[in-house]
Amino acid sequence: MPAQLRSDFGIYAVFEQQVWKIPGQDERGVGVFTRVSGSPDDRNLIDFYADGGVNVQGPLGARPNDKLGLGFAYARISNRARELDRDFETLAQDGRPVRDAERLLSLGYLAEIRKGWVVHPSFQYIIHPGGGYVLDGSIPRAVGNAAVVGVRTVLKF
Pairing of strands 117-127, 46-57: unpaired
Q: Report the percentage of the chain scoring pLDDT > 70.
A: 100
Class of 11-155 in CATH: mainly beta
Average pLDDT of the residues of the chain: 92
Say if residue 16's pLDDT is above 90. Answer: yes
Q: In whole angstroms, what is the distance from residue 54 CA to residue 50 CA?
A: 14
Report residue 106 CA to chain centroid gap.
8
Segment 60-65 shows an average pLDDT of 90
Segment 82-86 shows an average pLDDT of 91
Domain range list for the chain:
11-155
pLDDT tens track for 111-155: 999 999 999 999 999 999 999 888 888 888 888 999 999 999 999
Question: E strands of the chain, at which residues?
Answer: 11-21, 29-38, 46-57, 67-77, 101-114, 117-127, 133-136, 139-142, 146-155
